[in-house]
Amino acid sequence: MLSKDNRSFDADRRRFLISGATVAGSLVLGMPAVSLANVANGVQQIGFFVEIGPDGNVVIGSNQPEIGQGVRTALPMLVAEELDVAWSQVSVRQMPLGIVKTAEGFTWKYGGQGVGGSTGLTGNWDYMRQVGATARLQLMRAAADRLGVPVSHCRTRPGYVLCDAEAAEIPYSELVADAARLELPDEPPPLKDMRDYRIVGKPQNAIDAIDIVTGKAKYGIDTHEPDMRYAVIARSPWLNGRVKSFDAARALAVDGVLDVFEIKGPDPGAPYLVLAHGVAVVATSTWSAIKGRDALDIDWEPGPNAKDSSKRFWQQNRAMLKKRGQVVLDDGDFDAALAAAETTVTRQYQVPFVSHAPLEPQNCYVFVEDDRCHVIAPTQMPSGASRSAAAVTGLPRENIHVDISRVGGGFGRRLTNDYVAEAAMISMKTGWPIKLQWTREDDLQHDFYRPAGLHEMTAGLDSDGKVTAWTQRLASASKYYRRPNMPDENLWQAELYSDDFPRRIVDNMRLEYFHNAIGLPRGSWRAPAHTANAFVVQSFLDEVAIETEQDPLRFRLDLFGDERELPYENHGGPQFNPGRLSRLLKFVAERIGYGRQLPERRGIGLAAHFTFGGYGAHAIEVTVAPDGELTIERIVAAIDTGFAVNPRAVEAQLQGGTIDGISTALGLEITVKDGQVQQTNFHDYPLARISRFPARFEAHVLPYDQTPTGAGEMGIPSAAPALTNAIFAASGIRIRRLPVADQLRQALT
């Protein structure tokens, strides 16, 4: 979720400012200006800008980090639609972090900047359309003044203002200077009727797709600045370990190595600024820095978590579930309902720690000078990069300039800016502009991992097979455990979402939590706790249906029911409509041919889940061979994100999320032994190859209404349980522990 200092401004706090300027022979519309706390003194800041060249080409600024989710295309689409320009004439420029000091603290030039929790689009839906609409109105007013007619006599076509009464047609580029002199409207003008949209809601290619596939797109790892030095860090291999001593002689003898020094990490249990204690090596190239690191002789102090292990973690979780935990939700009378149930079903499910493993490992450029700091970072949260750099340097945040590069995969990892703090420490120590580079091994062994947990599910059903009691008991390692000012009694809130299904559908419901404080760092992993809970809940629904001799699809549809809005106070609310899950389930079931006669050892699994305001469902068909070999025959995925701003991008997110969810379920797990993470690279953290996925892979975007939700996370949660439910249907083997790995071979051979 976004921090409080990164929230979007409400419409009644926004005003828009158009200013004329020349940039390389073009005219610029700077907009919008967010009204600041001291607006009474006439202070406003120009934010997004639209550059209109004499040839009619338009450059639109994008304020949000692009991590592959498509906001670099979708947000400018909103501006272009309301501005009324041809999409073929639009290019996009990444805006830096816009931060302004006020009497009350800080505010944001360009609105809230940060992507996480599928908020990049939803948080800017109105904001960006108002940008374009305000600019268009000012251009029309400028044309009306020039022609001496009321503005109501003017209209636009892409790139031009038209006045039919005067038979006039004026290019936007000729009107910008006049528009800059006009007073602003008190309120943003009305937006277009969505039925008139030409750009928004229509499939568009990523605006920089050609640059990406030809290697021209610039990611953080491509950063090169004058006089830049390169750095890597040898981080403690032990959780919460420290540097006891080190000998840098051999490292300093490596050609190109310039400096070697210690990096201080956090105390055990303290909030993270950086992840670990270590030793930095600075050199004239990344290669020299890595070779210097290899030559270091470091004596490590293992620290208080030297005995941590996955084996002990799971033993502790099992022991916890034998006791009474923290009851965090207790609707109705669960005990009485369970006692009165005709049938009870109890199962346990195990979900592992996993790493983000983005294709682009962490990296960052920082140059700390006496009174300022420049950061270039592939970050999901640029305000967090500013905050991290300020914490290290002591500089005012308004003196820290943050440029946002394209991000080679975020998945929640880059919500945390520990790598920015590391680079700032190194630049501050050396006085040089520093590019810090992590290796793949660094990235897998030092991460904010998705929390692991052991879930115990119990359902009570009446004689008609209706669920009358439901409980989920979870022993896990909360990602909130080292968050500043986080009381222990709230640690559960990161792992159980109290308003998730089946709340308000099953009257008697209890949630219970146990915290297991392993020393492994934890954080947000794409769709955070939804990925774990969807696997658990959707697997359990299958088991309950089969235990009570009900069809798994019919059982779900009876539970979800028809469309109705239920209160939902967790992120993605304020409503949850279970009927939208029913719609998706029916769709994917029909598309895949659920219920048809299948060949021997073949099965179909279903699952559906509500995530951050959007709805997703999967139907997966698999074959399990007698020796345990698993073949995915077909995938049908569907997503309902309300209104799809760019259906092509939403489809791509659904495809990618499905692959990510299945890949993670098949083979990914982070384990700990003797206080150290065991996985080091893709040989022992095996992402699924594309050959694991079938040619028959359908991804459907089903529109619902005129309000968009994010799409970056909705395609993941239901993929894993649909897969494992299909495995059971094909083989009779129930997967209750992820990853699947070699469980099928072990069971069948």
737 and 601 part of one domain: yes
Instruction: With H, G, I as helix, E, B as strand and everything else as coil, classify residue 403.
Output: strand
382 and 515 part of one domain: no
Asked, for residue 442, whether it belongs to a domain, the answer is no
Asked, for residue 552, whether it belongs to a domain, the answer is yes
Asked, for residue 638, whether it belongs to a domain, the answer is yes
Q: Which domain holds residue 336?
A: 310-354+448-748
CB 617 within 8 A of CB 638: yes
Q: What integer pLDDT is reported at residue 29 of this predicted model?
A: 54
Computed from CA positions of residues 107, 711, 715, 580, in that sequence, does the dihedral angle turn out positive or negative?
A: positive
Count Cβ atoms below 10 Å from residue 729 Cβ, excluding itself: 21
717 and 663 part of one domain: yes
Q: What integer pLDDT is reported at residue 419 of this predicted model?
A: 99
Length of the chain: 749
What is the DSSP-derived secondary structure letter of residue 174? Answer: G
Which amino acid is located at 296 in the chain? Answer: L
Q: What are the tens digits of pLDDT across the range 17-32?
A: 333 333 444 555 555 4
Q: What are the tens digits of pLDDT across the range 312-347?
A: 999 999 999 999 999 999 999 999 999 999 999 999
539 and 470 part of one domain: yes
682 and 583 part of one domain: yes
Who contacts 371 (Cβ-Cβ below 8 Å, separation ≥6)?
Answer: 395, 399
Asked, for residue 515, whether it belongs to a domain, the answer is yes
Asked, for residue 76, whether it belongs to a domain, the answer is yes
378 and 459 part of one domain: no
Q: What integer pLDDT is reported at residue 640 of this predicted model?
A: 97
405 and 537 part of one domain: no
Domain count of the fold of the chain: 3
299 and 316 part of one domain: no
231 and 153 part of one domain: no
From 410, 437, 464, give the residue that closes a domain: 437
Asked, for residue 593, whether it belongs to a domain, the answer is yes
The residues facing 349 across adjacent strands are: 455
The residues facing 229 across adjacent strands are: 434
582 and 544 part of one domain: yes
If 0-12 CB within 10 Å is exposed, 13-18 middle and 19+ buried, where does residue 629 land?
A: exposed
From 415, 437, 459, give the residue that closes a domain: 437
257 and 314 part of one domain: no
CATH number of the domain within which 290 lies:
3.30.365.10
Asked, for residue 214, whether it belongs to a domain, the answer is no
Asked, for residue 278, whether it belongs to a domain, the answer is yes
From 407, 437, 467, give the residue that closes a domain: 437
568 and 694 part of one domain: yes
Instruction: With H, G, I as helix, E, B as strand and everything else as coil, classify residue 30.
Output: strand
* Residue ranges for the chain with pLDDT beneath 50: 1-25, 32-47
